[in-house]
Structure 1
Amino acid sequence: MGKGIGKWIIALIIIVPLLEWYVFLQMIEWIGGWNTLILLLTTSLVGILMMRFEGRKVIEDTKQQMDAGEPPGRRMLDGLCVFVGGVMLVLPGFILDIIGFTLVFPLTRPIYRNLLLRWIEKRMKKGSITIHRGGQ
């Protein structure tokens, strides 16, 4: 892991919980404590259900592509998005829930997939990511 990425991760570990705490307190003021708790639990439950459904769908699509002899690259990235989104939905917090839903939801997931593809392509051009094919 590069030094730049490590700094971003440390910053996120500090900033995200502070933002989530602020939003949580604002929600308590706006809709009340019990309603905030119920909303957090509901978004987690709905998120888990979406993740399970979309995860199965991604796995099935990946199998179909592989059975057809096609590389499942984009489907693998979809699977990564669904997994990361699911983790975000399970963690408490409204900001993470919003990002998690957009990662899991099929209409917004391509945004993240395209960002990941560009990031991977950029790293491959720089030579910081290499692909090794087994058996060749």
Structure 2
Amino acid sequence: MPWLIGLALLVVPIVEIYVIIQVGQAIGGWPTVGLLVLESILGAWLVKREGRRAWKALQSALETGKLPGRELTDGGLVLIGGTLLLTPGFVTDIFGFFFILPFTRPFTRPIARRVVSRFISRRASTLTPPAFTPFMPGAPTNQPRQPSGDVIQGEVIDPEK
């Protein structure tokens, strides 16, 4: 998985530069810059709107006691889409809009759930449970503590008696 992220960090900027150059050659330099700025403004507005909707849906689900699976997935998709929209370029903007738009999000929701569940199952299989101890360190027990180190013999005197 880390190698895939590294590869994406190398390939995505190259693809974005190539696409920007191709669009620039087709429609001109200034219209390309204008289109990128317009996409950024539209993306910022959509992230704000859909982020609020996802937050309100999450709050509503929590208030009603419903398990907020869909709401958390939508919030994560809006977060990922917003991050992609912050990246300058046409390709990442297309994916960002796909994650953010409310009519395309139902298509990405099952994919996101599959990816997250696969990630969790892989991580859970590598975890080992902690060794069993009869008591937690620092927790009170009914057994007297065994002295460690030097022992000083003494007597406790209660001043109220």
- The count of corresponding residues between Structure 1 and Structure 2 is 126
Q: Deviations over 1:26-52 (max 9, x none)?
A: 011000000000000000100000000
Amino acid at match of 1:41: V
Q: Deviations over 1:47-103 (max 9, x none)?
A: 000000000000001111111101212211111110111111122100011000001
- Unpaired runs of at least 5, structure 2: 128-161
Amino acid at match of 1:23: V
Structure 2 counterparts to residues 8-23 of structure 1, below 5 A? 8-23=4-19
**Contact 1:123/1:129, CA 8 A, preserved across alignment:** no
**Contact 1:51/1:86, CA 8 A, preserved across alignment:** yes
Seq. identity, %: 34
**Contact 1:85/1:104, CA 8 A, preserved across alignment:** yes
> What is the Cα deviation at residue 121 of structure 1?
2.9
Q: Does 1:62 align with 2:70?
A: no
TM-score of the superposition, structure 2-length normalised? Answer: 0.73
User: Partner residue of 1:115?
Assistant: 111
RMSD: 1.7
Amino acid at match of 2:97: F
User: Partner residue of 2:100?
Assistant: 104
Larger Rg: 2
Match of 1:40 among 36, 46, 49: 36
User: Partner residue of 1:85?
Assistant: 81
Partner Cα distance (2:42, 2:17) in 1: 21
